[in-house]
Structure 1
């Protein structure tokens, strides 16, 4: 209907004629151990069992609000969306960080698991897809409800094994994240990243996992605990069709780092797409750039196509890394 051709309509009638735009609504969700997690939902007005709900897993110590524009984009293209903060971060930050017991494994095994259960409860019968940024891709393989995931898109996903960092920055990054960060954490009882301009404040257990990362996730501190608890890390139960996106100028997401994590998803059909910023007419994108709105026309459609159809578009930028 052309509103200009219907001058007799009142403002109230016009509002009724226009489709309702899903709003970002906050929620609280308890994890299995009772820890209260905070996040946001973009929900369409009417339920549709054919509509997928997408859970967005954040990077280490990045607030879920960083992904709000991307969540709006997915919602505008027909998805319901859930964003949330891991325990200790943003909407899930307690009053005091010093006594918070939280680790990378908790973020996946407890917090992401709670979001899968929420999606199953709040959007009954709808497919569940996941987008994981950096550690968020690793978290996608740590939940016991992993078989619920239909499709998975990861961006720069790895678990910060220092030898995988890009060679020209490796020692500088090692000094920052594996020496300075744990020393400051030891002194403060948590990492005051926000005060230092290094991401968000971060629980000591997460810092311990990051700073003591190893070639195998089960060799990092909380990985050992989780492996002993469940017998085997849950990665292999995930059967989602998986797209791993990496950027050539991402110092964390090198080919070795991405492939190291992908090897854990042994029952998934995995595709690794490597993109050079020049492929999309840019000089740099880096580790955090993908989810920023300037890349809505160039990078976001790659993830959208995978979530919609489980495949890349024929004209996608970048190259596929051969699977070993």
Structure 2
């Protein structure tokens, strides 16, 4: 395990952790975190993959974890920057380091939304999307829909105005978020077509991805409904997309939820499923 910092065009650095395989012919995996989730959450999963002949790279988006280099009230970035600057810089770093390796992406939540906006996404050789979804409130029903609308229309605008960042750690499992990121994210989530209604040429950016994609959902995931996951999966028009819905009881537990996939308790059940996906990508 090797922790480094890489420079980016926006002149802030991104913290990257390398889990390099002992196999000199190992292919590479980049893990794109969920919103406000530190890269170390994926550490045990990354070690699992590295022991199975993949070199893994995790990173913190700007303002999160080890990429938080100053108080968030004084730091400026956006959700688009997380894709076009942060994620893109990691892709370029990995491809420069291992130009002859295949590059696979594993996304969690927002990571699967951002891949379509990464300028070098045509370099991806396979993608596993885990609970990656649209954030638009239209994919929730009843009282849950009202809670999502209250978040996007009231909580985020009010708190970011007061604190100059989003103190999300006080009411969610997420780390605090940079103001610009939270405001742009909320803007996307107010739109029926999410960031496709906000970002010019979003469709063309998504169409650059031309590889196999596996998209996973799970029961009882408040943050990623089946409808929301189906929607984002349908936007990769040039890719062969497989949708897989898992049930917690298949793995001997009552609940897995939005954050459970990468917990070590599933190293013998869910993690091997992802590993087999990577092996199939590799053989294509």
Take 1:100 and 1:162, find their aligned partners in 2: how far apart are those partners?
Answer: 28
The equivalent of 1:14 in structure 2 is none
- Which structure is higher in RCO with an 8 Å CA cutoff and minimum separation 6? 2
The equivalent of 1:165 in structure 2 is 140
**Is the Cα–Cα contact under 8 Å of residues 101 and 203 in structure 1 kept in the other structure?**
yes
1:34 corresponds, among 11, 16, 19, to 11
- How far 1:198 moved relative to its partner? 4.2
1:251 corresponds, among 213, 222, 233, to 222
- How far 1:45 moved relative to its partner? 4.1
DSSP 3-state at the match of 1:140: helix
The equivalent of 2:73 in structure 1 is 98
**Is the Cα–Cα contact under 8 Å of residues 135 and 194 in structure 2 kept in the other structure?**
no
- How far 1:104 moved relative to its partner? 1.4
Where do 4+ consecutive residues of structure 1 move more than 6 Å?
Answer: none
The equivalent of 2:127 in structure 1 is 152
The equivalent of 2:251 in structure 1 is 280
DSSP 3-state at the match of 1:258: helix
- How far 1:264 moved relative to its partner? 1.8
Structure 2, unaligned runs of 5 or more: none
Deviations 1:65-104 (A, max 9, x none): 1111110111111100000001111111121212322111
**Is the Cα–Cα contact under 8 Å of residues 33 and 108 in structure 2 kept in the other structure?**
yes
The equivalent of 2:211 in structure 1 is 240
Question: How do 1:110-149 and structure 2 match up within 5 A?
Answer: 110-149=85-124
DSSP 3-state at the match of 1:270: strand
The equivalent of 1:260 in structure 2 is 231
- How far 1:43 moved relative to its partner? 1.1
DSSP 3-state at the match of 1:83: strand
Take 1:200 and 1:232, find their aligned partners in 2: how far apart are those partners?
Answer: 30
Take 2:255 and 2:108, find their aligned partners in 1: how far apart are those partners?
Answer: 18
TM-score by length of 2: 0.92
Deviates more, 1:195-204 or 1:152-161: 195-204
Take 1:157 and 1:73, find their aligned partners in 2: how far apart are those partners?
Answer: 22
Question: How do 1:1-324 and structure 2 match up within 5 A?
Answer: 24-45=1-22, 47-48=24-25, 51-165=26-140, 167=142, 169-176=144-151, 178-196=153-171, 198-212=173-187, 213=189, 214-218=191-195, 223-224=198-199, 227=200, 233-310=204-281
Structure 1, unaligned runs of 5 or more: 1-23, 312-324
- How far 1:64 moved relative to its partner? 0.6
The number of residues matched between the two structures is: 280
**Is the Cα–Cα contact under 8 Å of residues 62 and 89 in structure 1 kept in the other structure?**
yes
TM-score by length of 1: 0.81
DSSP 3-state at the match of 1:301: helix
